[in-house]
Amino acid sequence: MMRWAGGLLLVLLWAFTSRATGFNIPYEVEQPPTIISHTASPIIALPFDNTLTIRCEARGNPPPQYRWTKDGQELNLPNISTVKTDNRNGTFMFHNKHFAQFRGKYRCFAFNKLGTAMTEEIEIIVPTPPKFPKEILDTIVIKEGEPITLHCNPPKGVAPLQIYWMSVGLQHIKQDERVSMGTNGNLYFSYALPKDSRKDYGCFAAFTRIRTIVQKTPMSVKVERLNPENNSSESVSATLPVRAPSLLLPSGVQTEKVLLKGQDLHLECIPGGYPTPNITWMKMGETLTDRIKLDNFKKLLTIPAVDEKDQGKYMCTAENSAGKAVHYFDVIVEEPPAWRTEPPQSQLSVIGSEVLIKCSVDGKPTPVITWRRNGKIFRDDRANNRRVLDDTVMLHKAGPEDSGVYQCEASNPHGSVLVNINVLVMDMAPLMLTKDFREYAVIEGGDIVMNCSVFSSPPSNISWTKEGTVVQGERVIFFENAQFLKIISTEKGDRGKYVCLANNTEGMASLTALLEVKEPTKIVVPPQDVQISSGNWTQLTCRPAYDKSLQDTFEVIWRKDGEEIFRSSKESSRYIMKGDLLEIRNVNLSDQGMYTCIARTSLDEDTATAFLTVLDVPDAPVSLKISDQESRNVTLSWIPGSDHNSSVTEFVVEYEESHWEPGRWKELHKVAGNQATAELFLHGDLNYQFRVYAVNAIGPGPPSEPTEKLKTPPAAPDRNPENIKIRGHLPHEMDISWNPLLPTEYNGPGLEYKVSYRKLEVEDKWQEHLVTRPSFTVRNTSTFAPYEIKIQSRNSLGWGPEPKPVTGYSGEDVVFWHCLRENVSVPSAPPHNVAVEVINTTVLRVSWSPVLPATVRGHLGGYNVYWERIKSFLSPDKILEERNSMSFPGNRTHVFVPGLEPFSEYRLTVNVFNKKGKGPKSDPVTFYTPEGVPVKVPILTTSHIQDDSVLLEWGPPPVTNGILTGYFLQYHCLNETSLEVIDSVELNITSPDITKQQLGGLVRGSLFRFDLSACTRAGCGPPLWTERYIPPSVDEVVTEPSNSTQRWFIGTLCAVALLTLLAVIVCFVMKTKGGKYAVKEKEDLFPDAESQGVNDTYEYRDDTVGDSVSRDSLVDYADGEGEFSEDGSFIGEYAGPRYRDSISEPSGPITVTA
């Protein structure tokens, strides 16, 4: 006991005083072998494998050699072609003809002069083909109601194994609560029935891994009836006695079940008895875990992945009305050997130190530990201070001869684990493992780690210096005994030469590291989100900035939705990368997504993203459905397709009918884009098909698949003809015509029209005629007499709706000589009560009382409006003869007349016309147009800049449209970059004769904009603007001008003199030729009001010659953009053809009457 305690104390003492360290020994240092890979055990040689390869690879310095043992004996591989070895390692391969020869347990040994490493045992299993034994089986004869067990006893083979019970005809034996198969493969019957009698019970064993199925000799079962008179094979005999439960599986009272931690526990109880017993489970002293699973009618209990908590005693109970039977299971959970934390690590120790190797292993049963050194058993040697104490090896005052490979192998009945521990006992000066003068580069602001890997024994003291100064500070971190120097958040000042110095008792070594700090890579112009229509092309820009010393490694990469776009990929042929541009040609919907630009060097990268949205026409709607198919009012519904990023504005329903125009699709109905149904009114007696397409801002999408054909029932016509025309080409006749119904509107066979007519307010009886053509002529009518006419449709199913009568006239009297002598064909009276309402300076509203129909003497064609500009109030003494007219077709009582001049006096008349000519003019009406605002001033200049003053000069407006009252000036101080207004000043110039203005107090070094408008009493016109930069002041600090300044001043004076001389010569030449250079320019710049009024009239037709009807279009007076309603209205649309921006709103309408 004292000896054991002393040994334990020694272990603890050495554990706390040992200087050994565990780490990976660098390859540059001589060292024993280390196994780096080998084939795991077991290896199953399958029949269809051609070869089998056993790997074993190690590293060491010197490079290791290899040897193998088989079943504990040295293995000498035969020198034949079917067995091959690898000269680089210990791997060997053999052909399948040698599989049986190589069955056994192998170990690989890798050795050099410093030691030997070994592998765990590698077992090669060569299974024999599974076979059922050939046997002759007697028929099993059993009484009805007794239990039956049919034994399978499958042969051994490669797992997994699946067992089936089938007949010779490969029909599965039906299993239920009475008949079931156990996990051992046997087939159990709780009680026998006559129907169980058969001669072909076959057990089939399937080994899926080796693709093999074997069959047992079929078994014969004969069930003898208790009551021979009952011949039914399906029913239970009425006299079948109740049988108490018994357990067919397992046998006995108690079963011990041992399994490994992590395996699945299977407990099975299969009962016999009648009625079929029920199975219940319990765990003695505890409740069953909620992880249990009951299968096969509760006969099989399963607990997955067991652990220690699942140990204990379980009981199954089989019970029926005759009694019960129980069985106990003693479940024991054990474990194979496993490392308690991690395997022991290799060690490096100095000469004379204490070496301790501890092998901590868990397992159940407790593992047995075997120690080896270089593959040979290592035993306790107290005399040489080499102790082996169970799981610990201690080396006292270790020397170089103790170096080698130590193996710890722990095993129990469930397996084993093995570890190789390299132990080096040596003294060695520092050896630098990192390359000298290694260059490091880092991006400014990033972190850098510089390496100074050292191997030495004992461990070295390491220090870092930069240009003779010890490296230290808050941004400096040392780790792994200063073998690594980390600088965080690097700065430009960190670049330079660093020296690492390592020393120990055996010597010293150093190395130099060079650090460069680079500019970061940035994307200065990132790509922007883009919306593009399909079929177009687009560009994404990604402009980077990076350290030019990294030019060789710099690249720009584009990714779409995380996938890189390659330059040479066929799928990316439409993607063209040019420098910092990505061009996408012929864009389609597949191009939509997130595009990422990556600007990358070998040190860093920057990314930017943009989303490309592809706009396209909508997809076709799907799932078209028609409801209410028995009527002509149906509802069509659909499911919209994708709108492809542009909202659907409308859905268009088209139809095709197969009788009149087969194959031609026509538009039937439109609904808003937020609807998915359409109410359709259909014509009768037609075969319809429908389809729908969607429309968005890009255009119409493809149509949907057509619906099935829909036959509508026939019906009477839904409408009557439209556009009824009554003409009197000849006296005493009236021609009636109309637009016929389309064939698709017939609604049935036998379409015809009923023409009804009577003289207006004279006859009560309608004259009726049935016709099939869309025209009819009424003869023997009065001259130009009014008639009422009705046209009604009908077919073989009935009449269309009751038509509304229209009014027309019979033929006019067109005797040519009569017209010439008495002029009775033109209107005989003018309009009365003509009134004028001035809307604004250029537009007025003209109204009148309608003329009597009898005075028109024919069809009323419309009205002519004539107006004459008498004078302008700007030049009241000047006589004007500006006459204009406009024609307004149709019967109306008011029109709008545009194109008037402001501040003028006008005279206006109106007459009516028919096809034969114009009637007399109305009494003239005199009216006045109000003042308007002036047009823009023609010129605005800035000059004479001196310090903070500017002189503005301008010309008066060429057209004032009123009495000029002055000018309105605004000047704004602008931001030079954004051009936003910083400050503004307003100035009213009340004199119309002023054409210049000096402005002072302007901020030097600023940009100014000047806006100038001319004004009348009606307001101010549109402004003209100009900009001027006010330069900053220059401090006069130089008292005496330098020679260079004097030369510059003299040169400037000479240039000015030369330019003046040239100007004088040019003026003289032009004057000699009679040119009017000055006068003409001034006239163009400042035309007088009179000349402007004469030359800038609207181009209306002059009515001073002739008296024919004017056919000028109102659109001519609105620059081709105006639209007039039926009454001639264009309010809000009209603008003058030349000075559109000079129109001002009037203060109120002015009404003038005759």
pLDDT at 1049 over 60: no
Cβ atoms of 881 and 1102 within 8 Å: the answer is no
Contacts with 377 (C-beta within 8 Å, 6 or more apart), sequence order: 370, 371
- Show the tokens assigned to 838: 């001035």
Query: Rounded distance, CA 809 to CA 559, Å?
Result: 79
The 3-class SS string of 695-747 reads: EECCCECCCCCCCCCEECCCCCCCCCCEEEEEECCCCCEEEEEEECCCHHHCC
**What is the maximum alpha-carbon separation in the chain?**
164
* CA distance from start to end of the chain: 146
Beta bridge partners of 913: 862, 918
pLDDT at 1149 over 80: no
3-state secondary structure of 853: helix
CB half-sphere exposure, 1113, CA atoms < 13 A: 8
Cβ atoms of 494 and 487 within 8 Å: the answer is yes
Interval 351-357 mean pLDDT: 93
The 3-class SS string of 321-342 reads: CCEEEEEEEEEEEEEEEEECCC
Express each pLDDT in 597-632 by its tens digit: 999 999 999 999 999 999 999 999 999 999 887 788
Query: Rounded distance, CA 916 to CA 122, Å?
Result: 123
Looking at residue 1137, its pLDDT comes to 35
Express each pLDDT in 1063-1084 by its tens digit: 767 665 555 444 433 333 333 4
Express each pLDDT in 732-741 by its tens digit: 888 999 999 9
Among the residue ranges 565-579, 812-826, 910-924, 1137-1151, the one predicted with the least confidence is 1137-1151
Cβ atoms of 122 and 39 within 8 Å: the answer is yes
Q: CA torsion, points 584, 586, 591, 592, in degrees to nearest 10?
A: 100
Query: Rounded distance, CA 452 to CA 438, Å?
Result: 10
3-state secondary structure of 524: strand
How would DSSP label each residue in 127-166? PPPP-PPP-----EEEETTS-EEE---PPP-SSPEEEEEE
Q: pLDDT averaged over the chain? A: 84
Beta bridge partners of 556: 599
Neighbours of 377 (CB within 10 A): 10
Among the residue ranges 216-230, 640-654, 695-709, 1023-1037, the one predicted with the least confidence is 1023-1037
In 521-586, the DSSP E strands lie at 522-525, 530-533, 538-541, 543-545, 555-560, 563-564, 575-578, 581-584
CB neighbour class for 926 (10 Å; exposed up to 12, middle 13-18, buried from 19): middle
- Show the tokens assigned to 672: 């808003």
Express each pLDDT in 962-1009 by its tens digit: 999 999 999 999 887 778 888 889 999 999 999 999 888 888 888 889
Looking at residue 622, its pLDDT comes to 95
Looking at residue 1124, its pLDDT comes to 38
Query: Rounded distance, CA 1009 to CA 555, Å?
Result: 47
Looking at residue 574, its pLDDT comes to 87
Cβ atoms of 16 and 407 within 8 Å: the answer is no
The rounded percent of the chain whose pLDDT value lies above 90 is 64
pLDDT-derived band at 780, boundaries 50, 70, 90:
confident
pLDDT-derived band at 1145, boundaries 50, 70, 90:
very low
Spacing of C-alpha 714 from chain mean position: 52
Cβ atoms of 90 and 108 within 8 Å: the answer is yes
Express each pLDDT in 420-478 by its tens digit: 999 999 999 999 999 999 999 999 999 999 999 999 999 999 999 998 899 999 999 99
The 3-class SS string of 261-275 reads: CCCCEEEECEEEEEC
- Show the tokens assigned to 38: 């080998």
Interval 485-494 mean pLDDT: 94
Express each pLDDT in 165-199 by its tens digit: 999 888 999 999 999 999 999 999 999 999 999 99
Pairing of strands 219-224, 140-143: parallel
Looking at residue 234, its pLDDT comes to 52
CB half-sphere exposure, 974, CA atoms < 13 A: 17
Query: Rounded distance, CA 909 to CA 813, Å?
Result: 29
Long-range own/partner contacts, residues 724-729 (CB < 8 A, 24 or more apart): 724/789, 724/791, 724/806, 724/808, 725/808, 726/787, 726/789, 726/806, 726/808, 726/809, 727/808, 728/781, 728/784, 728/809, 728/810, 728/811, 728/812, 729/811
Query: Rounded distance, CA 202 to CA 137, Å?
Result: 12
pLDDT-derived band at 487, boundaries 50, 70, 90:
very high
Looking at residue 1014, its pLDDT comes to 95
Q: What are phi and psi of 1016, to 5 degrees?
A: -125, -175
Contacts with 769 (C-beta within 8 Å, 6 or more apart), sequence order: 754, 755, 776
Looking at residue 612, its pLDDT comes to 94
Query: Rounded distance, CA 580 to CA 608, Å?
Result: 12
Looking at residue 381, its pLDDT comes to 87
Looking at residue 554, its pLDDT comes to 93
Cβ atoms of 115 and 402 within 8 Å: the answer is no
Looking at residue 702, its pLDDT comes to 96
Buried b vs exposed e over 768-802: b needs ≥16 C-beta within 10 Å?
Answer: eeeeeebebebeebeeebebbbbbbbbbebeebee
Pairing of strands 538-541, 581-584: antiparallel
Cβ atoms of 1008 and 950 within 8 Å: the answer is yes
> Is this prediction's pTM over 0.75?
no
Looking at residue 385, its pLDDT comes to 83
Query: Rounded distance, CA 189 to CA 276, Å?
Result: 10
Return the percent helix, strand and coil in the chain, to nearest 5: 10, 45, 45
pLDDT-derived band at 1034, boundaries 50, 70, 90:
low
Query: Rounded distance, CA 862 to CA 895, Å?
Result: 11
The Cα-based distances of 128 to 99, 100, 184, 212, 410 in angstroms read 11, 9, 21, 12, 31
Cβ atoms of 489 and 447 within 8 Å: the answer is yes
Q: Which of 24, 6, 21 is nearest to 353 (CA)?
A: 21
Say which residue, 1136 or 706, is predicted with more confidence: 706
The rounded percent of the chain whose pLDDT value lies above 70 is 85
Q: What are phi and psi of 562, to 5 degrees?
A: 90, -15
3-state secondary structure of 118: strand
pLDDT at 783 over 90: no
Interval 348-358 mean pLDDT: 92
Query: Rounded distance, CA 209 to CA 199, Å?
Result: 31
3-state secondary structure of 875: strand
pLDDT at 637 over 80: yes
Looking at residue 729, its pLDDT comes to 73
Query: Rounded distance, CA 243 to CA 279, Å?
Result: 16
pLDDT at 1109 over 70: no
The Cα-based distances of 927 to 667, 865, 871, 911, 1097 in angstroms read 53, 14, 11, 18, 19
pLDDT-derived band at 1054, boundaries 50, 70, 90:
low
Cβ atoms of 151 and 135 within 8 Å: the answer is no
- The Cα angle at residue 195 between residues 193 and 197, in degrees rounded to 5: 90
Spacing of C-alpha 1030 from chain mean position: 52
Express each pLDDT in 227-261 by its tens digit: 876 655 555 555 789 999 999 999 999 999 999 99
